[in-house]
A = this chain, B = another copy of it.
Amino acid sequence: MTEFDCLLASGRKKHKISKADYQSAMETLRGPLLDLQQQLEEADKAVLIILAGVDGSGKGDILTLLNEWFDPRYMYTHAYGNPTGEESQRPRHWRYWMNMPVRGHLGLEVFGWYGQLFSDCLSGRMIPQQRDVELAHINRLEKTLVENGMPVIKIWLHLTQKQQTKKIRKLASKRDETATLTDSEKRHLKQYPDFIKVAETILQATQTEQADWLILNGYDANYRRLSIARHLVNRLSAIVSDQKSIPRQEPEIPLTTLAPVSPRLASVDLTGGLDKKTYLLRLNQQQHTLAQLTNQARHKGIGAILVFEGWDAAGKGGAIRRLTAALDARNYRVIPIAAPTVEEKAHHYLWRFWRQVPGNGQISLFDRSWYGRVLVERVEGLAQPVEWLRAYSEINEFEQELTGHGILVLKFWLHISKEEQLRRFAKRENTHYKRYKITADDYRNRSRWDAYEQAVEAMLARTDTATAPWHLIAAENKYIARIQIFERVITAYQDRLLRA
């Protein structure tokens, strides 16, 4: 018997705790529970509790109790139904990201991301291979949450088939004298063996180091309540004391073990020019073509994300404006990324980008993006090495969810020479209404050109994936840069539409 089998076995066993024992034990637990929540709130720490289990195991009772034990101002209860229109227009995990608790709050999720998975497995909508992909996604999701500071506590309330039958009959008899079962109750009873089979697969696959399941029998109300209260006191205490032991020892990163990066920036050909007339003519044609393509894509429900990164003054804004001039205003959104707001800081660093994921057929244009994590945050020391090193795979995972949903992801690095940058800074300073574009920050960034270059090369090497490739754009000449960008976008749309 594996350790996991033992756990499930313990979930089958019935326990009984008397009312008096329960009440006296709870008297000593309620104070600590509330204190711990307050300490988490003061430490600005979010914790996610996922409560799942078989029907009739007392999940509703636990929900009501947790809302009584904890201060409801710093917690919320939530369960996912079938995806709404907005939700089904976006990658599967989008709604999970949208509902994450903010720092300082306890989130209580009934089934959480396991709900949709259970329902898809039970209905047969999902074949085993798809299920395994989703299980891997869930494990990576929980990993990134835990690693980025949001512990996940998972609780499974179990009942044997016999116990479930007894519970549900008892419930019916309480309802009225005829004790007739409702259709949904009958269905639940009949479904028990299938449900348990699905549960065993899911629980086993998601019994991870970073987020393990507490599996317990839900038959006796006092037993389940007390067990959960104790579990929460233990877990929350551990989280709080871990929080206190700052500065946390960051693991040593063996930087040398990372694959070496072959530089690509140096190979970008920055020479060449284009006369204005040819440029304008070509741009006009491209804008017409793009207007038609994006219109077709909208009808086919193909969303797109265009990411613009590049040196300061490389012409990101100008390129974006030429693109949007070809788009229907109902259909796109430009998202300029600055330092995160207070609200954004209260979430996982990817949250503010998840928020802007376009619906089917919509386009989001990012002026700077999540790559800030491995560029400015790396270079300026705003993220720890362990954080930005982790970010490469977190970002790849994020983009994989986007492209997996059918979103077109195009990433542009606008490259210019150090000399051209200086020329543009000077030009901006001489034009009154462009002066706002140039600040002391720009010159400071410039002085760290080499460090940035190293970060850019690493980014290009580690996040240039088959489904979401980087496009290096020679931006020394603005006309050429824009024409190139249009070409790439048009080609990508044409390819994508052929496959639609």
Query: A: which residues have CB within 8 A of B?
Result: 30-31, 33-34, 38, 59-61, 63-64, 67-69, 71-73, 76-81, 84-89, 110, 174-175, 284, 288, 317, 321, 324-325, 328-331, 333-334, 336, 338, 341-343, 359, 367, 432-433, 436-437
State whether B432 touches A30 (Cβ < 8 A): yes
Residues of B within 8 Å of A80, CB to CB, are: 330
State whether A432 touches B330 (Cβ < 8 A): no
Which 4 residue pairs are nearest across A and B when measured between Cβ atoms?
A85-B85, A86-B86, A79-B329, A30-B433
Chain copies in complex: 2
* Assembled-state Cα–Cα distance A60/B325 (Å): 7
State whether B30 touches A77 (Cβ < 8 A): no
Take A31-B432, A72-B317, A436-B71 as given contacts and tell me if A110 and B334 are in contact as well, using a CB distance cutoff of 8 Å.
Answer: no
Residues of B within 8 Å of A359, CB to CB, are: 84
* Assembled-state Cα–Cα distance A60/B321 (Å): 11
State whether A64 touches B31 (Cβ < 8 A): no
State whether B333 touches A78 (Cβ < 8 A): yes
Residues of B within 8 Å of A338, CB to CB, are: 73
Chain B residue with Cβ nearest A59: B329
Residues of B within 8 Å of A336, CB to CB, are: 72-73
Take A79-B330, A86-B84 as given contacts and tell me if A321 and B64 are in contact as well, using a CB distance cutoff of 8 Å.
Answer: yes
Residues of B within 8 Å of A175, CB to CB, are: 288
Residues of B within 8 Å of A60, CB to CB, are: 325, 329
Residues of B within 8 Å of A33, CB to CB, are: 433
Residues of B within 8 Å of A76, CB to CB, are: 333-334
The answer, among B61, B87, B325, B341, for a CB contact under 8 Å with A343, is: B341
Take A288-B175, A359-B84, A367-B72 as given contacts and tell me if A436 and B34 are in contact as well, using a CB distance cutoff of 8 Å.
Answer: yes
* Assembled-state Cα–Cα distance A61/B329 (Å): 11
- What are 19 pairs between A and B in contact, CB < 8 Å? A31-B432, A59-B329, A60-B329, A63-B325, A63-B329, A64-B321, A72-B317, A72-B334, A72-B367, A73-B338, A77-B329, A77-B334, A84-B359, A85-B86, A85-B88, A86-B86, A341-B342, A341-B343, A342-B342
* Assembled-state Cα–Cα distance A33/B436 (Å): 12
State whether B110 touches A329 (Cβ < 8 A): yes
Chain B residue with Cβ nearest A38: B436
Residues of B within 8 Å of A321, CB to CB, are: 64, 67-68
State whether B324 touches A67 (Cβ < 8 A): yes
State whether B84 touches A325 (Cβ < 8 A): no
* Assembled-state Cα–Cα distance A228/B88 (Å): 40
* Assembled-state Cα–Cα distance A34/B67 (Å): 50
* Assembled-state Cα–Cα distance A331/B77 (Å): 11
* Whole-angstrom distance between the Cβ of A388 and the nearest chain B Cβ: 24
Given A31-B433, A64-B321, A175-B288, 15 other A-B residues pairs in contact with their CB atoms under 8 A? A30-B432, A64-B324, A64-B325, A67-B321, A71-B436, A72-B317, A72-B336, A77-B333, A81-B330, A84-B86, A85-B85, A86-B87, A341-B343, A342-B342, A342-B343
